[in-house]
Amino acid sequence: MKANAESILEVRDLVKHFPLTQGVVVKRQIGAIKAVDGVSFDLHRGETLGIVGESGCGKSTLAKLLMALERPTSGSVRVHGRDITTARGAELKRMRRNIQMVMQDPYTSLNPRMTVGDIVGEPFEIHTDVVPKGGRRRRVQELLEVVGLNPDHINRYPHQFSGGQRQRIGIARGLALQPEIIICDEPVSALDVSIQAQVMNLLERLQNEFDLAYIFIAHDLSVVRHISDRVAVMYLGKIVELGSDAQIYDGPTHPYTQALLSAVPVPDPEGRETRQRIILQGDPPSPANPPSGCHFRTRCWKAQDICAEQTPALEPRQGSGHPSACHFAEVRDVVNAQ
Amino acid sequence: MTEVLSEQVGRGSHSGALLEVDNLHVEFRTRAGVAKAVNGVTYSVDAGETLAVLGESGSGKSVTAQTIMGILDMPPGKITGGEIRFRGVDLLKLPDDQRRKIRGEGVSMVFQDALSALNPVFPVGWQIAEMFRMHRGASRADAKKKAIELMDRVRIPAAKDRVNDFPHQFSGGMRQRIMIAMAIALDPEILIADEPTTALDVTVQAQIMGLLAELQRDSNMGLILITHDLGVVADVADKIAVMYGGRIVENAPVHDLYKNPAHPYSKGLLESIPRVDHKGQELYAIKGLPPNLLEMPTGCAFHPRCPYRRDNCVTDVPQLYTISGTRGSACHYWREVIDEGER
């Protein structure tokens, strides 16, 4: 982690509730899906913050809020001190230039009717002052070269490329406006194993080259460990644990993090008979009606009465240096334990 | 198995493994040309054994499984050679009605995407019960009772109340359990699981893999696990067949392969995965792309991406060299790969 680096993104108490309505003519709100329910963190220049959690925990909604594609119910997202959630018009457009996104599925996130040149160059059509019109084609070719594609393929269509190459096109598009922050939403989960490594190495090279900060959303904990400086673990709309990659992976204190990590299969058959597993029962509860107090208590083996009454705060707990939202937080190394 | 079947498929009267795939060739005739999806695949599974078939998309692992099940779309698919022997009898030569008997009772399959494999307009209980009505001639009431028992067995909570629910009312993990219930309904001797946990979260994946292992222990099924996840394989497999470009490039007992791979592709795969238990430096990346099945490289299909390549790799197709009794590698230079040391 780059110590003392300037914090370029500050997220405070971010909440997004999607209303649940009933009735066709007269709509009544009967509840809300609490997709993101009070999330706070900082992102520093040049670092990678990994966000992990199961499907439905609010990872992707969080990404949309950071991109200002959704307006939050409350809370703020400050980029260099300016709040993107309240920005409008020209100011919003200017701020968005600084935060770009790489999508999950390289098959559906590229328009099949546009050439690669048009796809990667489209940001310049919207932000016309970045590159003068005459230089755009050359700039696109430079970008293709940066992500390891042949610049001569500028007139090809997405279907002429493989999955890994398409993801490179998506990354080139994300780089076009020279952002400081790139949000990667499951960027390698649709790719084959041998191609995943290529794309992850590319992302790391680009980070060093352009001093990019990544928000790296993924459900694959091994991938997140490899690329992240810090990791946030989400469960039902809340961050339950936040720390450096070593703190989270070698000394997790939240029971959910421990269960999540122990469920990851280790690619080594040695000692598999004795490996400890914490197998959670059932599925996560619905975010429309989360349990009171600690959201995880219904699946937690440590739960006591206090967990139903008090929501545990995300704060440093005894015996560890990083914040964890559990009343009974305790370091337990589940990954290296045999 | 029913008596009719055991007459045809002689129980215990052959010496080989329970299920043997022998030099299978499958191709797809498309407008763009002939895609050779499976080019001489040989593997076998015995009762109680777990074989992991490891490979990337397009390696032919799922096509092989579909051919075993007899659910390959023909045309465009065409079996151009080889045998699939179940209890010593070649399934490919059996008439349709006997094939149908074996499907479900002898060999059964769990699919990757439970939402599209289940019929959205019938209750899940009805779909599970269909196995008993069709294969065993059970009455509706009996079949439903058995469906509830099965849903209990795969740990669906409150099975009795949920037997009339539709697939969309279940979560992804629960749907996969229903798929498993259908697959084990008739006590098959071989279960093929094609990427059973790929679409699921890790916590649910652990539940499902645990359930499969338990069912296998109870009934001594042979399990063919088709996957691309090296972690899942390391957890459950007894032996591994690594596929690339429609061929098996390495087969080995699980411990041997992870300790000391004998094919450059398996070696590359093992080196290219990030680990949850330690943070490595830059990942090793196998350069290039998987082969296009319409234009397979000459010689060894892996040669354009291989760091061990010599001139004869471009011209000579490597056979599956025997390394020891249970190990084989389809690389001319397997000695070099294996001698590079243990990982």
A270 touches chain B (CB under 8 A): yes
Q: Do A279 and B174 touch (CB under 8 A)?
A: no
- Predicted pLDDT at B100: 86
From the list B255, B274, B289, the residue facing A226 with the nearest CB is B274
| A276 in reach of chain B (CB within 8 A) | no
pLDDT value of residue B241: 94
Question: Could you report the per-residue pLDDT of B20-51, keeping only the tens digit for each?
Answer: 999 999 998 888 888 888 998 999 999 989 99
**Residues in chain A closer than 8 A to B158 (CB atoms):** none
Q: Does A263 touch chain B (CB under 8 A)?
A: yes
Q: DSSP of A59-117, one letter per residue?
A: HHHHHHHHTTSS--SEEEEEETTEETTT--HHHHHHHHTTEEEE-S-TTTSS-TTS-HH
d(CA A214, CA A196): 17
Interatomic CA distance for residues A45 and A213, integer angstroms: 5
pLDDT score for B53: 93
Identity of the residue in B171, B173, B232 whose CB atom sits nearest the CB atom of A265: B232
Q: Do A267 and B273 touch (CB under 8 A)?
A: yes
Q: Buried (b) or exposed (e) across B27-42, using 16+ Cβ within 10 A?
A: bbeeeeeebbbbbbbb
| Nearest-neighbour CA in chain A from B266: distance (Å) | 10
Q: How many CB pairs under 8 A join A and B?
A: 134
Q: How far is A275 from chain B (nearest CA, A)?
A: 10
Look at residue A212 in the predicted model and tell me its pLDDT: 92
- What are φ and ψ of residue B44, in 5° steps? -145, 150
Residue scoring higher pLDDT (B249 or A30):
B249
pLDDT digits (tens, 9 = 90+) for B156-188: 888 888 889 999 888 888 888 899 999 898 889
Give residue A164's pLDDT.
84
Mean pLDDT (chain B) is 86
Asked if B201's CB is within 8 angstroms of A219's CB, the reply is yes
Question: Within an 8 Å CB–CB cutoff, is residue B260 touching chain A?
Answer: no
Using a CB-CB cut-off of 8 Å, the residues of chain B touching A270 are: 255, 258-259
Class of domain A7-98+179-324: alpha beta
State the ipTM, two decimals. 0.79
Nearest to B56 by CA among B316, B238, B286: B286
Search chain B and give the residue with CA nearest A220: B202
**Amino acid residing at A10:** E
Which residues of chain A carry a pLDDT beneath 70?
Answer: 1-4, 337-338
Quick one: pLDDT at residue B123? 92
What tens digit of pLDDT does each residue of B64-76 get? 999 998 888 888 8
Cβ A124 vs Cβ A136: under 8 Å: yes
Proportion of chain B above pLDDT 90, given as a percent: 22
Cα of A192 to nearest chain B Cα, Å = 6
Predicted pLDDT of residue A157: 92
Contact residues on chain A for B269, CB-CB shorter than 8 A: 193-194
What confidence score (pLDDT) does residue B3 get?
A: 46
Given this model, what pLDDT does residue B134 score? 86
Q: Identify the closest residue of chain A to B343 by CA–CA distance.
A: A268
Enumerate the residues of chain A whose CB falls inside 8 A of the CB of residue B203.
Answer: 54, 259-260, 263, 279-280
- Binding-face residues of B in 158-187 toward A, CB within 8 A: 171-174
What's the 3-state SS for chain B? CCHHHHHHCCCCCCCCCCEEEEEEEEEEEECCEEEEEEEEEEEEECCCCEEEEECCCCCCHHHHHHHHHCCCCCCCEEEEEEEEEECCEEHHHCCHHHHHHHHHHCEEEECCCHHHHCCCCCCHHHHHHHHHHHHHCCCHHHHHHHHHHHHHHCCCCCHHHHCCCCHHHCCHHHHHHHHHHHHHCCCCCEEEEECCCCCCCHHHHHHHHHHHHHHHHHHCCEEEEEECCHHHHHHHCCEEEEEECCEEEEEEEHHHHHHCCCCHHHHHHHHHCCCCCCCCCCCCCCCCCCCCCCCCCCCCCCHHHCCCCCHHHHHCCCCCEEEECCEEECCCCHHHHHHCCCC
- How does residue B14 score in pLDDT terms, banded at 50, 70 and 90? low
Tens of pLDDT, residues A11-70: 999 999 998 888 888 888 888 888 999 999 999 999 999 999 888 888 889 999 998 898
- Residue A223, min C-alpha distance to chain B (Å): 6
Predicted confidence at residue B341, as pLDDT, reads: 59
pLDDT at residue B1 greater than cutoff 80: no
User: What would the pLDDT profile of B289-338 be if each residue is shown by its tens digit?
Assistant: 888 888 888 889 899 888 888 888 888 888 888 888 889 999 988 888 88
